[in-house]
Amino acid sequence: MTVRILTGNESAAWGARLARVQVVAAYPITPQSPVVETISAWVQAGELPAEFIAVESEHSAMSVCIGASTAGARTFTATSSNGLAYMTEQIWWAAGARLPIVMCVANRSLAAPWNVLNDQQDSMSVRDAGWIQLHCRDNQEILDTVVQAYRIAERLNLPVMVCYDGFLLSHTAMPVEVPTPEAVDAFLPPRPAPLQVIDPADPRNIGPVVIADRRRDAGGVLRGGYMELRAAHHEALLSALDVVAETADEWERSTGRSTGGLVVQHRLDDAEVVLVAAGSLVTQLTLVADGLRDRGVAVGVLGIRCYRPFPVEALRERLSGVRAALVFDKALSYGYAGPIAADLRAALYGVDGAPAVYGAVCGLGGREVTPEALTDAALSALADARAGVRERAVAWVGRLSEEVSR
């Protein structure tokens, strides 16, 4: 183990390197580009025995990963923002084809208008595609999570998206413990044989048209239709709840570092209001909660590490007896609510003693999220919670409309 000063992007690249990725295909986009620049430099220098394929689009980046993963290789790519949106068709394909691809997403806003800075609209927009989505709080977690992601992906035959905030983490350097290759090898065996069979002696047609009904195969066995395959996919994703948690535990046993399993929690004891978020905001909220606790205000933090599958049970358990959960989303389902807030509300619906869920949108397009604004939002949530308010409109944290209009 060595400690290096690494940016989030470098941490992601190190994770892929330690996982001994075999095929990397990527296309540049801010703020992800340094991930693939770093990997391509290692490949060209002979430090990483992988193929680096400089494709002509993100759609092709995921397509190459799909092809290589089908052939049994361990594959990696990274993207952000419009790059992720552009590969959306293949995001769905990779998941439906049950390929254990790992992709880093340096979270960034989506155009129009152009904006290269952080929010989480990009990965949130593909939350329904059937990938496992893990969020990182800091650069150490990025490295650790990329390695874990391969274990999870290859156990379940599901792709994993490792998300971290653009610039806030991607371009911020901090000390990161880089495990030895031996330590990672002990944790992460080579990729097992894929489900997909490419063998002229036993030719298969992989991913063909599947009808709505069931149909017999050549041997007379009745096989499921499209819906049965989708149900199997959903069940695999739900079983990821256990696998993600177990994998984090095993990682902690082997490295001594906790990355959190499904959720990370901070000062939940007797909390009246719990602040909920994903990504680097969780680290910020931890400091805000500490400040409020110092002032005698009982505030805790619940960080969502695993956003898909959504850790319903873990959230219900951690939030029971709390007056209100205030969710900070760096994304918005336009015309409705922040995605995490909406999901949490649904997860808690009808649960006895469940808190009110308030939604706040912050940080869109890199708008600075200050401790003061977070503190104010927490205090106003507390006041509303004590007044028994159950429903609130989405609060815009850090929006400057008044100053702008003046």
Partner 1 sequence: MTRITELPVEERVLPGNRACAGCGLGIGLRAVAKALEGRAVLTVPASCLTVLGGMYPVTSVQMPWVNCAFPSTAAVATGIAAGLRATGRGEELTVLAMAGDGGTGDIGIQALSGAAERNDDLIYLCYDNEAYMNTGTQRSGSTPVGARTTTTWTGKRENPKDVPRIMEAHRVPYVAVTSAAFPTDVYDKVAKARSMRGLRYLHMHTSCPSGWGFDPALSVRLGKAAVECGIVILYEVEHGAFRLTGRSAALAKAGGALKPVDEYLAAQSRFRGLDAQAKAAIQAWVDERWTEALERHARGK
Partner 2 sequence: MDPFDAIAMSRPARGEAGRTGDWRNARPVIDASACVAAKQARVTCQICWAHCPDACIEQGAPPSIDLEYCKGCGICAEECPAGAIAMVPEAEHGVCEAAEVEER
Residues that bind partner 1 (CB under 8 A): 22-23, 25, 50-51, 53-57, 59-61, 63-75, 89-90, 93, 196-200, 203-211, 215-218, 221, 223
Among partner 2, partner 1, none, residue 236 binds (CB under 5-8 Å by kind): partner 2
Total residue count of the chain as it appears in this document: 406
Choosing among partner 2, partner 1, none, which partner's interface includes residue 57 (Cβ < 5 to 8 Å by kind)? partner 1
Which two tokens mark 309?
């599958």
Beta carbon nearer to partner 1, 60 or 375: 60
Cβ distance 134 to 162 under 8 Å? yes
Give dist(CA 148, CA 184) in Å, integer. 10
CA quadruple 104, 110, 116, 118: dihedral sign: negative
In the complex with partner 2, the residue whose CB is nearer, 67 or 365, is 67
Q: If binding is defined by CB under 8 A, does position 232 make contact with partner 2?
A: yes
The nearer residue to partner 1, 27 or 358, going by C-beta atoms, is 27
H helices within 28-111, ranges in order? Answer: 33-44, 58-70, 81-86, 88-96
Question: According to CB under 8 A, which one of 61, 87, 97, 271 is a site residue for partner 2?
Answer: 97
Question: Within 152-181, which residues bind partner 2 (CB under 8 A)?
Answer: 157
390 binds, among partner 1, partner 2, none (CB under 5 to 8 A by kind): none
- Structure tokens given for 95: 């998941």
Q: Which member of 228, 290, 313, 317 binds partner 2 (CB under 8 A)?
A: 228
Question: Which of 94, 108, 122, 88 shows the shortest CA–CA distance to 30?
Answer: 108
Segment holding 77, helix H or strand E: strand 75-79
**Cα 15 from Cα 332, distance rounded (Å):** 30
219 is an interface residue for partner 2 by CB under 8 A: yes
Q: Does 204 bind partner 2 (CB under 8 A)?
A: yes
Applying CB under 8 A, which part among 73-81, 183-191, 202-210, 346-354 lies near partner 2? 202-210
Q: Which stretch binds partner 2 (CB under 8 A): 24-32, 44-52, 130-138, 207-215?
A: 207-215
User: Interface with partner 2 includes 206 (CB under 8 A)?
Assistant: yes
State the DSSP code for 146: H
Q: Are 309 and 316 in contact (CB under 8 A)?
A: no
Side-chain half-sphere exposure of 236, counting CA atoms within 13 A: 24
Partner from partner 2, partner 1, none binding residue 90, C-beta < 5-8 Å depending on class: partner 1
CB of 99 to partner 2, least distance (A): 9
| C-alpha 311: how far from chain center | 13
Shortest CB 95 distance to partner 2, Å: 11
Of residues 119 through 158, those in contact with partner 2 by CB under 8 A are 157
The dihedrals phi and psi of 24, each to the nearest 5 degrees, come to -125, 125
Q: State whether the Cα torsion 89-92-96-100 is positive or negative.
A: positive
**Residue nearer to partner 1 on the CB measure, 217 or 402:** 217
Radius of gyration for the chain, computed over Cα atoms and rounded to the nearest angstrom: 22
Provide the β-strand partners of residue 329: 361
Cα(358)–Cα(388) distance, rounded to whole angstroms? 12
382 binds, among partner 2, partner 1, none (CB under 5 to 8 A by kind): none
Secondary structure (3-state) at 378: helix
User: Which of these segments, 56-64, 125-133, 223-231, 295-303, binds partner 2 (CB under 8 A)?
Assistant: 223-231
Stretch that binds partner 2, among 176-184, 190-198, 271-279, 331-339 (CB under 8 A): 190-198
Question: Residue 228 binds which entry of partner 2, partner 1, none, with Cβ cut-offs from 5 to 8 Å by kind?
Answer: partner 2
Does 199 interact with partner 2 (rule: CB under 8 A)?
no
- The site partner of 98 among partner 1, partner 2, none (C-beta below 5 to 8 Å per kind) is partner 2
Cα–Cα dist 270/256, whole Å:
28
Binding site for partner 2 (CB under 8 A): 97-98, 157, 195-197, 203-208, 210, 215-219, 221-224, 228-229, 232-233, 236
